[in-house]
Amino acid sequence: MAPRKPSVMRPARDVAVVAFGQTDHLRTTDELSEVEMLMPVLHQVLAATGLRTSDIGFTCSGSCDYLAGRAFSFTMALDGVGAWPPISESHVEMDGAWALYEAWVKLQTGEADTALVYSYGKSSPGSVRDVLTRQLDPYYLAPLWPDSVALAALQAQALIDAGETDEPALAGVARRSRADATANSHAQLSGSVAQGEYVVRPLRTGDCPPVGDGAAAVILVAGERARDLCERPAWIRGIDHRVEAHGLGVRDLTDSPSTRLAAERAGVFERPVDTAELHAPFTSQEIVLRKALRIGDDVTVNPSGGALAANPMMAAGLIRIGEAAARIHRGASHRAVAHATSGPCLQQNLVALLEGDAR
């Protein structure tokens, strides 16, 4: 990775997450089309703020055609928004965390003061392990069909070889996450979950995220207005994202320099955080992220249960930001870091730093 030393980026405009909503995350949702699954969540965040679609200055969504098996699948999801009269709107073929980033940028320009961000993913129609092989180098990797668990397992073994973790420690991450998820009514997997058999060794079923469907939405507001719409807004003090080289063989799989770089630029290291919502679909990835983000034992990590409790593809990253914000909304956190990832073995990472008003 190219040596770059970004300074902390201070946003010109204060922008806050003022509302967050998510569906219950389920193994299958056959009875619902994507828009039928998404719409209640959109209504939820609008109701929470008292805003109507016509009050929203910018709308941005994240989703992925390959999950649905259909081109342009996002166009029909727009039905749930009520885009009439026409709206200022955009879409990323990425996790909704990056849709939130695009919306945050839009608010930075001053062209909009409020933004609706949503994302959704149904992993149930296809085999997500196989689908994800299609995002690999199409010449050297995709023809081998290495599935997402296999790649994560290579990373986990590298961590074990480096002495950074072992199977009992990974089981501990799994246990803690599912135990914490009992407090999260939307979680797909919670409570006492057996570590199970190997899926791809060294990863067991307990180390892997559940496969499921879900959606999430967030409302962003710039400036003082945020305080009118939310008792305790979650201010985005910094947000940044970075990508790494694609090839697994050229990366140090035990580290996440892109996460560290994004965190530096977002200002995460300036003062301690109390909460971290990390998008670590596999237990081993939490180990990598903790190191990159310099998270100590005094930080509450994934109180929602994280992606090990619910991992709706394309929404799970946005949900990390939403969960961190919701914790600030209810006064359980003052300064939180939220993280989202994309690509094989944490190739691309986004970091957001959220703060509540001092009390």
Partner 1 sequence: MTSAPVPEVLRAPLVVEFPFTRSLGPVQSAFLTGLRERTVLGVKTGDGRTLVPPVEYDPATAEEIRDLVEVGDTGTVTTWAWNHEPRRAQPLGTPFAWVLVKLDGADTALLHALDAPGPDAVRTGMRVRIRWAAERVGAITDIACFEPYDGDGAPQESAPHSGEFTDPVTGIGAPARLDYTYAPGRAQTAYINALSEQRTVGERCPACRKVYVPPRGACPTCGVATAERVEVGPRGTVTTYCIVNIKAKNLDIEVPYVYAHIALDGADLALHARIAGIPYDEVRMGLRVEPVWTEGGRFPDHYRPTGEPDADYDTYKELI
Partner 2 sequence: MGKEPVAVVGIGQTKHVAARRDVSIAGLVREAAQRALRDAELTWADIDAVVIGKAPDFFEGVMMPELYLADALGAVGKPMLRVHTAGSVGGSTALVAANLVAGRVHGTVLTLAFEKQSESNAMWGLSLPIPFQQPLLAGAGGFFAPHVRAYMRRTGAPETVGSLVAYKDRRNALKNPYAHLHEHDITLEKVQASPMLWDPIRYSETCPSSDGACAMVLTDRAGAARSPRPPAWMHGGAMRSEPTLFAGKDFVSPQAGKDCAADVYRQAGIAEPRREIDAVEMYVPFSWYEPMWLENLGFAAEGEGWKLTESGVTELDGDLPVNMSGGVLSTNPIGASGMIRFAEAALQVRGQAGEHQVEGARRALGHAYGGGAQFFSMWLVGAAPPAT
For the beta carbon of residue 216, count every other beta carbon within 10 angstroms: 33
Closer to partner 2 at the Cβ: 142 or 183? 142
The least CB distance from residue 317 to partner 2, in Å, is 13
Closer to partner 2 at the Cβ: 74 or 235? 74
Rounded CA separation 155/133 (Å):
16
CA-atom Rg of the chain in angstroms? 19
Closer to partner 2 at the Cβ: 213 or 244? 244
Residues that bind partner 1 (CB under 8 A): 1-2, 30-36, 39, 42-43, 53, 66, 68-69, 76, 78-84, 124-127, 129-131, 134, 138-147, 150-151, 153-158, 161, 198, 200-203, 245-250, 253
**Nearest to 18, CA basis, from 225, 306, 268, 303:** 225
The least CB distance from residue 109 to partner 2, in Å, is 4
Name the binder of 145 from partner 2, partner 1, none, CB < 5-8 A by kind. partner 1
Name the binder of 111 from partner 1, partner 2, none, CB < 5-8 A by kind. partner 2
The least CB distance from residue 19 to partner 1, in Å, is 16
**Residue 29 per-residue DSSP state:** -
**Nearest to 114, CA basis, from 52, 39, 187, 188:** 52
Residue 327: both structure tokens together: 């914790």
Question: Cα 126 vs. chain centroid, distance in angstroms?
Answer: 21
Residues that bind partner 2 (CB under 8 A): 1-4, 9, 11-12, 59, 64-66, 69-72, 74-76, 78-79, 83-94, 98, 101-102, 105-111, 131-132, 134-139, 142, 240-247, 257-258, 261, 342-344, 347-348
Rounded CA separation 87/55 (Å):
10
- Under 8 Å between Cβ of 350 and 340: yes
Closer to partner 2 at the Cβ: 35 or 179? 35
For the chain, the residue count is: 359
Q: 54 phi and psi, to 5 degrees?
A: -70, -15
